């Protein structure tokens, strides 16, 4: 099955499962729409989902001992957003979310980009960056590489991959990110989180 069919299957399977997203702080889990306003669905592990899990592990072939967390889709309507946060929890010495795939399952929307305020904007005048990144063309040089803040455009079928932990097992500060507010339409994301050794000393 190709990627686009897999993603529409994942979306269809989410339809009867949407529930308000929660945030967890310490041992408390609650709905806090000012922090995270969306709905999530825990996706059943059918053959399509197992295939996505397999491909996600294979993509990270250099890492042994990866465990893929149960896949979740996330739906944002107008005003939906997720404030800046890290995906790693730092809660365990043994294991943590070592990496993230943020997949745009559906993105018939304005706004809704995934923003990394602590990453430097590459020079969007070069290469293909401007296809994937939002930027303000401020001044004659445009995105001249000195500006902090990178926003990935939500483009259906695309995915952003990043590593959350460095080799010493500590969380990368640069992975601080947000799902920016959706201004029009709807965005559906798929979170694929890989767990591995946190190796904290
Ligand atoms: O929706 C996004 O762009 C980001 C979502 C996110 O960061 C998350 O679910 O952890
Ligand atoms: Fe996140």
Find the 140 Cα to ligand 1 centroid distance in Å: 32
In a domain, 131, yes or no: no
In a domain, 35, yes or no: yes
The domain spanning residue 72 has which CATH number? 2.60.120.620
Judge contact between 100 and 191, C-beta under 8 A.
yes
In a domain, 52, yes or no: yes
In a domain, 42, yes or no: yes
- The rounded distance, in Å, linking the Cα atoms of 21 and 178 is 15
Find the 177 Cα to ligand 2 centroid distance in Å: 6
Res 108: pLDDT: 97
Res 1: pLDDT: 61
Find the domain containing 69 and state its range. Answer: 3-113+154-197
Q: Minimum-distance ligand to the CA of 188?
A: 1
In a domain, 130, yes or no: no
Res 169: pLDDT: 83
DSSP 175: G
Res 137: pLDDT: 63
- Ligand 1 nearest-atom number relative to CA 113: 3
Res 31: pLDDT: 96
Nearest Cα neighbor of 160 from 97, 116, 98 is 116
Judge contact between 153 and 114, C-beta under 8 A.
no
CA neighbours closer than 13 Å in the CB half-sphere of residue 180: 19
Q: Minimum-distance ligand to the CA of 74?
A: 1
Structure token pair of residue 113: 């980009």
Judge contact between 10 and 71, C-beta under 8 A.
yes
Number of structural domains, the chain?
Answer: 1
Res 140: pLDDT: 47
Res 160: pLDDT: 97
Structure token pair of residue 23: 């945030």
In a domain, 120, yes or no: no
Residue with tokens 């190709």: 2
In a domain, 129, yes or no: no
- The rounded distance, in Å, linking the Cα atoms of 176 and 187 is 20
Q: Minimum-distance ligand to the CA of 22?
A: 1
Is the CB of residue 177 below 6 angstroms from any atom belonging to ligand 1? yes
Res 91: pLDDT: 75
Res 182: pLDDT: 98
- The rounded distance, in Å, linking the Cα atoms of 81 and 109 is 13
In a domain, 147, yes or no: no
Question: Which residue among 36, 85, 112, 114 has the greatest number of ligand 1 atoms within 8 angstroms of its CB, and so is best to mutate?
Answer: 114
Q: Which residues of the chain have pLDDT under 70?
A: 1, 136-146, 199-201
For atom 9 of ligand 1, which residue has the closest CA? 191
* 3-state percent breakdown (helix, strand, coil) of the chain, nearest 5: 15, 40, 45
């Amino acid at each position: 099955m190709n990627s686009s069919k897999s993603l529409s299957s994942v979306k269809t399977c989410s339809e009867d499962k949407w529930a308000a997203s929660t945030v967890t702080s310490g041992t408390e889990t609650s709905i806090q729409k000012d922090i995270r306003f969306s709905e999530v669905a825990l996706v059943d592990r059918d053959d399509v989902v197992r295939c996505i899990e397999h491909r996600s592990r294979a993509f990270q072939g250099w890492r042994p001992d990866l465990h893929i967390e149960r896949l979740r889709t996330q739906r944002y309507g107008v005003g939906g957003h997720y404030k800046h946060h890290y995906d790693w929890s730092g809660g365990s010495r043994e294991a943590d979310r070592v990496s993230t795939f943020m997949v745009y399952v559906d993105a018939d929307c304005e706004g809704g980009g995934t923003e990394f305020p602590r990453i430097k904007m590459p020079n969007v005048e070069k290469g293909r960056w401007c296809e994937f990144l939002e930027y303000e063309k401020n001044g004659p040089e445009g995105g001249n590489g000195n500006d902090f803040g990178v926003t990935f455009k939500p483009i259906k079928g695309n995915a952003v991959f990043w590593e959350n932990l460095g080799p010493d097992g500590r969380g990368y500060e640069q992975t601080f990110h947000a799902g920016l507010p959706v201004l029009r339409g709807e965005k559906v994301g798929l979170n694929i989180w890989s767990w591995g050794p946190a190796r904290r000393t």
